[in-house]
Structure 1
Amino acid sequence: MTEFAQLRAFLTVGELLSFSRAAERLGVSPSALSQAVRALEERAGIRLLNRTTRSVSLTEAGERLLRQAKPAAEDIGAAIAALRRKGGEPAGVVRIHAFRSVADRHILPMLTEFERNYPNIVLDITLDDAVVDMVAGGFDIAIRIGEVVERDMVAVALGPELRQVAVAAPAYLARHGTPGHPRELTAHRCIRWRWPGQDHPYRWEFNEDGRWFEVAVEGGLIVNDKALSARAAAEGVGIAFHTEEWVAPYVADGRLVRLLERWSAPFPGMYLCYPQQRQMSPAVRAVITALRATAVS
């Protein structure tokens, strides 16, 4: 490999801290990647990575090289990619990670026109409610609620604040009564939701006199899909906790009733976020522009 290729191999491994994931991203074998990093270490005369059978970590020298060389390598990569594009038109793969709930509002509306305007851009979209590390996961753009956006990301609001409310079917309330305070939910059958990748169900969050507090509810149903929790609540299975706009159709036709609204306060809504970059590819910039156009007030 050339010196630049060796450096790129090290930067990818150093960023992901995994030879297998770095090899997958670069399209080479882990053994070839290991040889490239070793060759760079020999060229520099210093160890850059600590390797064990289970983990990879950066040495102090490796951390310094990663910090100093990554911006320049990104600029070089972007310049080379620009030379390869036909006629200078945006091209390439742009990877997007988004919460499931944003697909209909912010992704579907832009797809038809975007496909027509940028035929050489491939959108690789993952819809998942997990809060993933964008950089480690190889994503260019993410759409998620404001409270889980990393501080070092550029964040652009795509909509107003959101509010979660407890809801239940009239039949359930007739059988079990209506809770008068969020803490009374512990005596009810609640439909719990678990964040992807988490061991324990989400604790329902409420606000009293400007202070947030959590309630660890119980119940016989745990799901990882918010849409299922709303449908189950409408069937009388139990009390669900959901974004207000998502359950609005159920409330409008009487299948669900809002509960405990006094303690349901707004929180930051959906944000488009992406890493700060000295040199952003035209393809990523085109996708960001298209998604920002879907913002609602």
Structure 2
Amino acid sequence: MVRFEDLALFVRTAACGSFSKAAREANLLPGQVSAAIMRLERDLDLRLFARSTRSLRLTDEGERYLPYAREIIDLLHSGRDAMRRDDAELTGTLLLAAPSDFGRNILLPWLGDFRRRHPRLEMRLQLSDQVADVFRDPVDIAIRYGQHADASFIALPLAPDNRRVLVASPGYLEQCGEPQSLDDLQRHSCLLWQMHGRVYDKWVFPAGKSRRIVHVKGALASDDADVVRRWTLAGEGIAYRSWIDVVTDVRAGRLRLLLPDQPGEPAPLSMVCPHRRQFSPAVRQLHALLTERCAQLVA
């Protein structure tokens, strides 16, 4: 008989690409994971992995069986969630990943309200602008910016019409002047985003049915969006940010919106889940709360 634990370790090992990584995530020894995979292969009479001293990869049989294994796990979770659906009080642990700026400055108080409504629910929050992999990373849901074309997970919209905007502090504009066109950005100090050592110095703007790419430059770059926000508030330069992240600062007068008639690049905000069929009561209720709060914030 196939064990659920062995099936879950198979899915985790396929995502991690090694027994040792899967063992660390599951708080087990590599030998225990290897034994579970061998037991599953014996029960199924299939060879799921091709092993060597240097690599571990799925066999053709393993590749074809993996979607069924994921579906079985999702069905078991769905059955558990259905039994809990009528419970007014949420319990368990919810693992959540979110972008740094949105997480620190907007999401935290919303999560506080959610926890006060459901005091028996435990939450684990991971803040990073590195994109969380909801299949490999130890998270239940991830809040992400951008379009999501990957059909292997579900993206629930939070702010589908959100866009990026150009902003700067009044102090910076008094000292350096205000750009009157996108061409003027090349003469300004721009605050740049970087990831994995790459600096993103090409800002994209919609232009009718096409798009316009503006090459910008600046002395400051960071892989943490909250750092870029702080630099912007301190008058270090112009930033191209998500409207949700800066709307409070703009309304309070700490930042000014630049070229307001120029459409910005779409930056829809979504809640991403790995489970296709069903979402836990905690995920559904949190999604409803965040959707409502995002709408109120940008109204």
Contact conserved, 2:100 with 2:226, CA < 8 A, in 1? no
Q: Distance in 2 between matches of 1:160 and 1:83?
A: 31
Report Cα offsets for 1:179-233 as digits up to 9, x if no partner.
44324423332221224x4523353221223422222321111123334334433
Q: Distance in 1 between matches of 2:71 and 2:247?
A: 46
Contact conserved, 1:168 with 1:236, CA < 8 A, in 2? yes
Q: Distance in 2 between matches of 1:117 and 1:229?
A: 34
What residue identity is the alignment partner of 2:122?
V
Q: Name the residue aligned to 1:259.
A: 258
Segments of 5+ residues of structure 2 without an aligned counterpart are none
Report Cα offsets for 1:117-163 as digits up to 9, x if no partner.
351x3211112222222112132212222424744433333236223
Contact conserved, 1:110 with 1:290, CA < 8 A, in 2? no
Q: Distance in 1 between matches of 2:37 and 2:261?
A: 58
Q: Name the residue aligned to 1:221.
A: 220
Q: Distance in 2 between matches of 1:283 and 1:27?
A: 25
Q: Name the residue aligned to 1:211.
A: 210
Distance 1:139 1:150, change over 3 A: farther
Partner of 2:28, secondary structure, is: coil
Deviation at 1:60, TM superposition (A): 0.6
Q: Name the residue aligned to 2:239.
A: 240
Distance 1:67 1:292, change over 3 A: same
What residue identity is the alignment partner of 2:130?
A
Q: Name the residue aligned to 1:58.
A: 58
Q: Distance in 2 between matches of 1:152 and 1:75?
A: 15
Report Cα offsets for 1:59-116 as digits up to 9, x if no partner.
11111222223322443466579999xx996532221111234335455224345345
Contact conserved, 2:250 with 2:256, CA < 8 A, in 1? yes
Q: Distance in 2 between matches of 1:77 and 1:249?
A: 39
Contact conserved, 2:90 with 2:118, CA < 8 A, in 1? no
Q: Name the residue aligned to 2:118.
A: 117
Give TM-score, length-normalised by structure 1: 0.78
What residue identity is the alignment partner of 1:72?
I
Contact conserved, 2:206 with 2:265, CA < 8 A, in 1? no
Contact conserved, 1:183 with 1:215, CA < 8 A, in 2? yes
Q: Distance in 2 between matches of 1:256 and 1:77?
A: 45
RMSD: 3.6
Report Cα offsets for 1:232-267 as digits up to 9, x if no partner.
334443322223454456555666443333333362
Q: Name the residue aligned to 1:131.
A: 131
Q: Name the residue aligned to 2:187.
A: 187
What residue identity is the alignment partner of 2:48?
L
Q: Name the residue aligned to 1:296.
A: 295
Contact conserved, 1:189 with 1:219, CA < 8 A, in 2? yes
Q: Distance in 2 between matches of 1:175 and 1:107?
A: 34
Give TM-score, length-normalised by structure 2: 0.78
Q: Name the residue aligned to 1:16.
A: 16
Segments of 5+ residues of structure 1 without an aligned counterpart are none
Deviation at 1:44, TM superposition (A): 4.2
Deviation at 1:167, TM superposition (A): 3.1
Q: Distance in 2 between matches of 1:200 and 1:54?
A: 33
Q: Distance in 2 between matches of 1:82 and 1:244?
A: 37
Distance 1:193 1:115, change over 3 A: same
Q: Distance in 1 between matches of 2:82 and 2:63?
A: 29
Partner of 1:165, secondary structure, is: strand
Partner of 1:123, secondary structure, is: strand
Partner of 1:135, secondary structure, is: coil
Q: Name the residue aligned to 1:49.
A: 49
Q: Distance in 2 between matches of 1:158 and 1:113?
A: 16
Q: Name the residue aligned to 1:143.
A: 143
Distance 1:8 1:274, change over 3 A: closer
Partner of 1:278, secondary structure, is: coil
Deviation at 1:18, TM superposition (A): 3.0
Between the aligned residues of both structures, percent identity stands at 30
Q: Distance in 2 between matches of 1:239 and 1:220?
A: 12
Q: Distance in 1 between matches of 2:24 and 2:188?
A: 48
Deviation at 1:285, TM superposition (A): 4.2
Decide which moves more: 73-82 or 241-250. 73-82
Contact conserved, 1:95 with 1:140, CA < 8 A, in 2? yes
Distance 1:181 1:226, change over 3 A: same
Number of equivalent positions:
293
